[in-house]
Amino acid sequence: MNLSSSEISDLIKKRIQNFDFTPELQNTGSVISVKDGIVQVYGLENIMYGEVVQFPKKNIFGIALNLQSDFIGIIMLDNKIFPLEGDIVYGSGNVLTVPVGECFLGRVVNALGKTIDGGDIIQEKIFSPIEKNAPEVIFRKSINQPLQTGYASIDTLTPIGKGQRELIIGDRQTGKTTIGIDTIINQKNKNVKCIYVAIGQKLSSIANIVQVLKDYDAMKYTIVVSASASESAAMQFIAPFSGCTMGEYFRDKGEDALIVYDDLTKQAWAYRQISLLLRRPPGREAYPGDIFYLHSRLLERAACVNSEYIKERSCGKIQKKSGSLTALPIIETQAGDISGFISTNVISITDGQIYLETNLFNSGFRPAINSSSSVSRVGGSAQTKIIKKLGSAIKLSLAQFRELEAFSQFSSNLDSMVKKQITYGKKMMELMKQKQHNLLSISEMAILFFAIENGYLNSIEVNDIQHFKTSLINFFKNQYSTIFHKIEISGNYCDSIAQDLKKIILEFQKIYIP
């Protein structure tokens, strides 16, 4: 088909008139260098701190952490695929978000909220930024509801309340993870959603923990966020923030949530690695200057909030009294030194600490809690009334016992009063021993404390305490289930409860054979 020059001219003019062009402004840059998981980019003039950037050529993402005058420092989330020099990079205009919701309960996800347990892929609907401001003081409620761990030594001596931040600190292999996992297991049928964040652990260790949670039917109300040792430092750095965002979803709905960070020492190591690669000035122990801010802005998000805060977050659709997010951060020490840089930082942020001692652990006392170095700044305000009443004198007695025990090592001639106190202390220590995953309810703790406080264990030898303890609890649960459930539901202590407990122990003593 031949066209004349005038027809061609008219066709071009017509197409020019019908051409629709909408200018689009894009924030772009180009890659200068790629080294050790850090990408330096020229351009991206309007980028903000923590913004997600995309490398479309490789279909990968990164986070902008260094904003300098001549280049942008970006950390890559994937440690296997990297862009090339000269590649184009685009700013997204958004900070990093993770999917949240009830659908993640019972699943294992990575730091980006992607399922990694081999199950069905979750279609995400609600996304929330991993970095948020902590609730303001005016929206916070006083902590007055207990969160039971199932360990008598913790629930009595260093009680944890809903919305509290209680540090678990100690050397490696002293039972820190066990306390965190058992606290999750103990929340069964208590309407507490749990998040376990594994940072820098072996994949086999994480798989074992997931299996334990499944065995005790705890996965149905638990989300496991995994950032294993094989993943990049960036993923280990953001994993606690992702887990916290998932926990805040439940808190802002007026529900109770518990999050265990295992452990923040490895997150600090990952952040130090990132900061040194970004060539930030090193400070004490080569950590960057904002290492304290890293943990403070994370742990401050754990809180018990009032109904006004929940109403504001839910646009007035949900009317509930309060919601809470309780944090149990874990810190690993070296040779029992709790005065280390990261240890003292987190101790100053949290509302108390549970200190696990290596010598106690090796001597067979589990959980290996050093009662003199452990403290809860919430105290009795977050305790059940019956435990507060019956366990009030135990901490003082244990402190006196440890002093007398240390003193008795230097003296062979002890009077009968001192010997009696040491024997009483040994019985109390034996009573506090608990095996892994062998947790106690409020009523079980109550009858044990009532027995030792009222002298019913005076005739029992120290070696028979564990047998007496197990037999008494079984007798109590099987023969007096009505009283058992009454104490569990009310948690109160009165004369009638005391008479019931006395009657049970006296009846048990008649049939007990050491």
Kindly list the catalytic residues. Answer: 377
Could you list the beta-strand ranges (E) of 228-310: 256-262, 304-306
Radius of gyration for the chain, computed over Cα atoms and rounded to the nearest angstrom:
29
CB atoms within 10 A of CB 314: 15
Q: How far does the chain reach from its first CA to its final CA, in angstroms?
A: 111
Q: Three-state SS across 441-493?
A: CHHHHHHHHHHHHCCCCCCCCHHHHHHHHHHHHHHHHHHCHHHHHHHHHHCCC
Amino acid letter for position 121: I
User: DSSP string of 150-201?
Assistant: S-HHHHHHS--BTT-B-EEEE-TTSSHHHHHHHHHHTTTTTTEEEEEEEES-
Report the distance separating Cα 250 and Cα 100, nearest Å. Answer: 9
Report the distance separating Cα 303 and Cα 145, nearest Å. Answer: 12
User: DSSP string of 18-59?
Assistant: H---------EEEEEEEETTEEEEEE-TT--TTEEEEETTTT
Q: Using DSSP, state whether 88 is helix, strand or coil.
A: strand
User: DSSP string of 322-348?
Assistant: EEEEEEEEEEE-STT-TTSHHHHHHHH
Q: DSSP secondary-structure letter at 221?
A: G
Please name the residue that has the structure tokens 């020019």: 16
Report the distance separating Cα 373 and Cα 333, nearest Å. Answer: 14
Nearest Cα to Cα of residue 390 among 464, 288, 303, 492: 492
